[in-house]
Amino acid sequence: MKHGAISILPLAAGAALYGFAFGLLAAQTGFPWWSVGLMSATVHAGSSQIVAVEQFANASTVLGAAFAGAALNLRYIGIVASLSDVLAGLSLRAKLVAIHITGDENWALTMSERAKSKDIGASFLIGSGLVMICVWTVSTASGALVGTVLPDLERFGLGFAFTAAFIAMARGLWRGRPSILPWTVAFGLAITMVYLGLPKAYTIVASALCGLLASHLVRQIRSASQ
């Protein structure tokens, strides 16, 4: 656990800056600092939290915000499935705790280190995850606390932080040429639906599903050609 906690510190520092920016903007939409911290501790999923806050800021329904957030979190099905060997042997309670504190950063670090040494396991994942959830919760709550006393952040261009964060995350998910068609389909559909004035929450879901379908077709074509 100590090894995992120390190894994740560089990534945690980046998450702290991102979390602070999120807290600032959440405060500007009316979220009190304590609710931002509570959301970070219980939901613990940056991308879905951003979408939820945006949806609430646009006077969307709770259902729409939850639906959009859930769509973004579908990737965790694959992430948790990939941890089956890592979590083997733990009690159900320990597994649930480990799953809750697993995020993109500590999952990627754990799998990378495990590829080098099979001694890396659940303890490393939990140690790094505990650091990440603590840093994320404190940084987002701190950002919201500061955001309550700052002027309108849009005046300083900080409203773009949400978009910038998603661009950064998307860049990390790029896998080269096989990604071109799925990304183009998802992006094109999203732009079209937003242009038509359709709800953004459902735009996210529809675009994600169409992108997944396009990705499946790419894989089928590649398998057939081989």
What is the pTM assigned to this prediction?
A: 0.73
pLDDT tens digits for range 117-134: 888 889 999 999 999 999
Q: What is the mean pLDDT of the chain?
A: 84
pLDDT of 125: 94
pLDDT tens digits for range 36-66: 999 999 988 887 888 788 777 666 567 777 7
Average pLDDT over residues 177-202: 86
How far apart CA 80 and CA 107 sit, in angstroms, is 9
pLDDT of 65: 74
For 163-188, give one letter per residue: b (16+ CB within 10 A) or e. Answer: eebeeeeeeeeeeeeebeebbebbee
pLDDT of 105: 86
